[in-house]
Amino acid sequence: MSQEFFPNTSPGTRGLVYREPLIFERSVPGRSGASLPSAGVPETDPADEIPAELLRGPIEHFPSNSENEVVRHYVRLSQTNHSIDTGFYPLGSCTMKYNPKVNEWAARLPGFANAHPYLPPEQLQGVLELMWNLQNLLSEIGGFAATSLQPAAGAHGELAGLMIIRAYHLDRHGTPRKKVLIPDSAHGTNPASAALLGYQAVELPSNEKGMLEPEVVARAMDEDVAALMVTNPNTLGIFETHIKEIAEIVHAKGGLVYGDGANMNAILGVARPGDLGIDVMHYNLHKTFSTPHGGGGPGAGPVSVAAALEPYLPRPVVVKEGDAFRLDFDRPKSIGKLRTFWGNFGMMVRAYTYILELGREGLRRTAELAVLNAQYLRKLLEADWHVAYENPSLHEVIFTDRNLKETGVTTMDVAKALIDHGFHPPTVYFPLVVSGALMIEPTETESKETLEAFAAAMKAIYERAKTDPEGLKRAPEKPVVERLDEARAARKPVLRWTPDFEIPF
């Protein structure tokens, strides 16, 4: 196989960047990967059919490649990525748990996979029943009165939830109110969602234990505050033990409490946010409920609400009348429609399958094992690595690069070195309140052996940092692409092929 290497002269990086010849560039005239029946009409050259003044330039013909060339090209490309099906993926807060294949089987059942959203409800009864059941299961799991499955992602669920809160305040108080309180440990989508709706996001400091104090909320709370957004356990992996008291403080001033339930892994089947004073919450089916993510979607971020907020849910909602299910559009107080059709239905089938397969006991066991795995990793690593917060963490644990200060090795170097050991790096430099954070969430789906292998890799990296820091800074050396300039890769990504394509360094 031919490979090409280009010098990577980007400042701060070194080495070569591998460039796979594109399928166009492998084209050999006359080769074909298909055997089609004869067209039955005269074959013409498009260049002869289209008037010259309408052409931007000469017509390039489709590449000519044999089938095995095409298959090998794309399979090889797919293998240059890390995935949860190929290895451990301890990305904190993102919950990269293994996606059981039985979910895929269910989502591909023809009755689900081929259901067209324009079919009349009489022909969609099974689909609507599944949605209705899932709405109810999520309401039960979260401790809420009602659920909408429409939002397409966690951030979309946040937007839906805040729109519901906004509609509630407008209805009750004649004003949407002005501010949303958000702890400094929150996921970045929280202030973004608030700002998108015109709210001022007010940051609340967490204390030295990584927790929100009731007094801090009380001081910030007034009648301009629409809501407090909390994540519990928070993104530091720490349970906000004052949550009930905090909710009372917010409610006393007419505010509502938004729960960011993207990651329910620590409390699934153990505690219900609705019972703790949360009024609105979204779930990420693509985190807690094992629908695949990481490749850019599709996701699903259903939102659940307390009874007083039910009228504002996005429409339509699935309702049951007698034995029949239908979509109810007649909801005058609804915030409206958020998504084409009814949401990402394939994700609903996967999450529903997951919940049914595990059942009540299984969901609880999931949370227990997620916490146990994080505790075990914490124990295995804490001799070498500095733990950001002393108090107990639940489903995820945050280390920092503090113990490597004198070596010059940073969190980013550690993350890159893990790639050479065959592991996806954890979440790094987040939450922002922790300097040099390495945020590890093993999830419940990993075995003791995998956790121990990861700990051994972390130990090897720690020792190499002490003895050969310069060597470590060259990592990763094993994957096809060496260390990239991350800022450029993010800000100036090259996502399209062009005829004069060049590596842009």
Q: List contacts with ligand PLP (CB under 6 A).
A: 93-94, 153-155, 187, 189, 231, 235, 260, 262-263, 284, 299, 301
Least distance (Å) from ligand PLP to the CB of residue 181?
Answer: 16
Q: How far is the CB of 163 from ligand PLP (least distance, A)?
A: 15
**Which lies closer to ligand PLP via its Cβ, residue 267 or residue 465?**
267
Residue number with CB closer to ligand PLP (260 or 482): 260
Interatomic CA distance for residues 428 and 430, integer angstroms: 5
Q: How far is the CB of 187 from ligand PLP (least distance, A)?
A: 3
Measured from the CB atom, is 284 or 304 closer to ligand PLP?
A: 284
Calpha distance 17→12 (Å, rounded): 14
CB closer to ligand PLP out of 284 and 334 = 284
- Under DSSP, is residue 427 helix (H, G, I), strand (E, B) or coil? strand
Between residues 296 and 499, which has the closer beta carbon with respect to ligand PLP? 296
Min dist. Cβ of residue 111 to ligand PLP (A): 27
* β-sheet bridge partners, residue 438: 399, 428
Taking the CA atoms of the chain, what radius of gyration do you get in angstroms? 26
Query: Shortest distance, CB of residue 273 to ligand PLP, whole angstroms?
Result: 13
**Cβ nearer to ligand PLP, comparing 277 with 301:** 301
- Our CB check for ligand PLP shows the closer of 297 and 471 to be 297
Residue 68 contacts by C-beta under 8 Å, 6 or more apart in sequence? Answer: none
Peptide bond into 311 cis (omega under 30): no
| Minimal distance, residue 205 CB to ligand PLP, in Å | 18
Enclosing H/E stretch for 358: helix 345-381
Q: Say how many C-beta atoms besides its own lie within 10 A of residue 8's C-beta.
A: 18
- By three-state DSSP, how is residue 85 classified? coil
> Smallest distance from the beta carbon of 2 to ligand PLP, in angstroms?
38
Residue 103 or 407: the one with the smaller Cβ distance to ligand PLP is 103
- Strands, E assignment, 350-465: 386-387, 397-400, 427-428, 437-440
- Residues with Cβ < 8 Å from 289, sequence gap 6 or more? 283, 350, 351, 354, 355
- CA 357 to chain centroid, in Å, comes to 22
Min dist. Cβ of residue 288 to ligand PLP (A): 10
At closest approach, how far in Å is the CB of 220 from ligand PLP?
A: 21
Burial of 53 (0-12, 13-18, 19+ CB in 10 A): exposed
- Residue indicated by tokens 């003791």: 448
Task: Report the distance separating Cα 280 and Cα 258, nearest Å.
Answer: 5
- Of the candidates 2, 314, 265, which has an alpha carbon nearest to the alpha carbon of residue 167? 314
Torsion over CA: 191, 169, 299, 399 (sign) = positive
CB 289 within 8 A of CB 107: no
User: Do 100 and 354 meet the contact criterion of CB atoms below 8 Å apart?
Assistant: yes
CB of 384 to ligand PLP, least distance (A): 27
Q: Rounded to an integer, what distance in angstroms lies between the CA atom of residue 484 and that of residue 480?
A: 11
- The least CB distance from residue 275 to ligand PLP, in Å, is 20
Tokens 């609705």 -> residue = 274
Residue showing the smallest CB distance to ligand PLP in the complex: 154
Q: Which is nearer to ligand PLP, 65 or 284 (CB)?
A: 284
Which is nearest to 280 in space by CA: 180, 399, 164? 164
